[in-house]
Structure 1
Amino acid sequence: MPEPGFFKTATFGGFDKKSVLYYIDTLNENFQNTEKEYQEKLEGFGKAQESQLAHIRSLEAQLAEQNAKLETVAAQLEQEREVARQAQEQISQLEAQNRTLEKQLSDGAREIEIQLERNRQLQFRAESLDYKSKKYDEISNQIGDTIIEARQNADHIVAAAHTQAQEIAMAAQQRMNSFYSELGSFKGDASRLRKSIEEILFVLNDRIDVMQEVVGQVEKRFSPEELSLIYTQEEPQPFETPADQAGYLGGNTDANMEH
């Protein structure tokens, strides 16, 4: 088999046809082999790429899952932080309550000490009073007769005071009765005085009305029109006597008052 690229020459000039065809077939075969090899490589690359893409998708899915888990963990962490904050607040409140209880306990202990001291003092006073009571019993036994006599004298004094109080109450009752009698008489006098004042005011009002009517007649009688310089022979007209219960000015008022 001749080597590729070297052709046999023919007897009558030119190249050998078989050699040329063989060379072409060899080139075609090599090309097909190379193409097949490259195609296999491309298929291998495609499969590798698909495998890589699948792996990338798997990694992306895992990454998304991890992100979701991370978000869940972050939310849980935030909840834990909130719980921790609330727990810290509760701890602070409990510490404040603990301090308050400690103060109350301290105050209670101090109060207990004070009460114990008071109890001791009261016990001492009770013992002292018991001692004094015994002394008083001894003294009371000695002055028992004196107390009995004093009680009898006190009963007599109370009885006398009761009798004197009854006498004073009776005298006060009599004075009150006399006062009520004088008060009734004063009311009657006041009523009569009020009636007299009302009658006097009634008469005075009537007299004032009469005076006003007389003044009106005088003003009418001596008006500026009638005081002209023209001489007239008219006779002066007497004043009219007003008819009323009080009488005219200067009349008798006793009869009106009696009326």
Structure 2
Amino acid sequence: MDLSNRTVLVVGGTSGIGRELARRFAAAGSTVAIGGRNPQALTELAEEGFGTISIDVTSSASVASARDAALARYPELDTVVTMSGVMLLEDLRDPAHFEAAATTVDTNLLGTIRVVDAFTPHLIRRGAGTFVTVTSGIAFLPFPPMPSYAASKAGVHAYSEALRAQLDGTGVGVVELVPPAVATASQEKVNPHALPLDDFATEVMDLLSQDPTPREILVKGVLGHRWAEREGTYDDLVAQRSQALAMLPGRQG
């Protein structure tokens, strides 16, 4: 993928990985707009020179409005990155977890589908373009305290595979970004071993710039997650990660 002359919309790019990747695309020479829900963050990003668009991926009306605004301002839009996501702890022994599960699936999986659906006709009409979906190492190696997060990201992986197959021949590609734990503000609280954001973004951009672009963007730090079943380490790693269930309220002591 040539990163120097693209027109990119990063949905969910107001913080963390999305914000850093938006900056990297811009530094490479692409025109970049960022969509998100946080008005203060959008204002700060506008001051940096980014185009900004308000979007709530849990609302079909908001996604449609954001699409119309994006295409009016950026008719040459050729790359849509779907970054929006939430990570919530859930204790499956307590039925009250369902609200967190519903929020997670609505944002992570259905939010991705809403965004993809909104921009698919435009990219097909162009005859060229790229969707970048975002899953997680947790899609392939579950983290038991976040069951719906794992399920939603596994769902995005499967959906991305099907989307790629259905768009074959249209000129529209699908690239799946699979992050490990990355040291964003939210991750630093729970995982002191998370990969530094700067290192992660550098490796991602190097992989994206390859020709042909890999179908899955797998930094070195996520390979143990992605291929755990194949390598025979899956059961042991899930057991190790299950020790983190002690972090759930009511599981301590």
Query: What TM-score comes out, normalization by structure 2 length?
Result: 0.17
> Whose helix proportion is higher, 1 or 2?
1
- Ranked by relative contact order (alpha carbons within 8 Å, sequence separation 6 or more), the top structure is 2
> Whose strand proportion is higher, 1 or 2?
2
Bigger radius of gyration, 1 or 2?
1
